[in-house]
Amino acid sequence: MRNYWALLPAIAVCVVLAVLYAVPTLINPQPVSNLGGLFRRDDDTERPALSPRDRRVRRFSAIAVLAAALVLVAFNVSLNREANSCYLVAKAWGADGSKSYKDPCVDMIMGAYFSNPDGEATEDDPQPVTSYQIVHGKRPAYLRWVQNRPEYHDADLIVGVQFLCDSDVKFTESAEAVTIVSDLADPCPPRPQVGLVSIKLKRPLGDREVVTVDGKPMQRIDPEMPSWGTVLKELATGG
């Protein structure tokens, strides 16, 4: 799986250098030649004292450097949050996670390229679909990173099935339930990739059940990007 923690040593060096410059400057904007000079009064130094305007400029510069260091850390966390999200979401949808990918957002999860799910199954014994996610009103953030992603306004539900079998998903809806099946005679073999099929209902889901073969209820799941707190914890613990 793609891991941006490899950038952390370089970012750590930048942050340390930023702190070494910014903190002393905030304490004492007057240029000094050693650490003890940080705490001298201006009239104790041989260098000309800075004007109030120069002091403000130096302090603003120090604050800007600290802000840039924080942005670097936040950018690194954001990239890891993206990569971890795609990996965890793909596994939640049933992708085989036994193989590690450099870029799970590209290699493990994608929207269905060829799919027209509205309609009856043609097989006598279609295969069940195990889980679904409600999209309308929730707008899962991970979808922003998915190739050929389902559009929020074109999807009420999303189902995930093994890649290359996503074009066989079919659904029908009645007043009592929405039925989703895989129009295949045999189960789709496990694959490391998963395809997301979007379903646009003719009317809101409401209290209707989402079921599959033989009226069996499907599992509702809500995969989502890991929180910033989770990713920061991994950063702090080296996870």
Task: Provide the residue range defining the domain that includes 166.
Answer: 104-220
pLDDT recorded at residue 92: 87
Which residue would you say has higher pLDDT here, 168 or 40?
Answer: 168
| 144-155: burial string, b at 16+ Cβ within 10 Å, e else | ebbeebbebeeb
**What's the pTM?**
0.66
Residues 208 and 126 in one domain: yes
Residues 73 and 150 in one domain: no
Residues 47 and 138 in one domain: no
Residues 88 and 164 in one domain: no
State what percent of residues in the chain have pLDDT above 70: 82
HSE, CB side, 13 Å, CA atoms: give it for residue 7.
15
pLDDT tens per residue, range 17-28? 888 888 888 887
Residues 69 and 125 in one domain: no
**Worst-scoring range by mean pLDDT, 17-26, 180-189, 193-202?**
17-26
Residues 123 and 52 in one domain: no
Counting the structural domains of the chain, the total is 2
Residues 108 and 203 in one domain: yes
Residue 99 lies in a domain: no
State what percent of residues in the chain have pLDDT above 90: 28
Question: Does position 178 have pLDDT exceeding 90, yes or no?
Answer: yes
Residue 130 lies in a domain: yes
Residues 76 and 117 in one domain: no
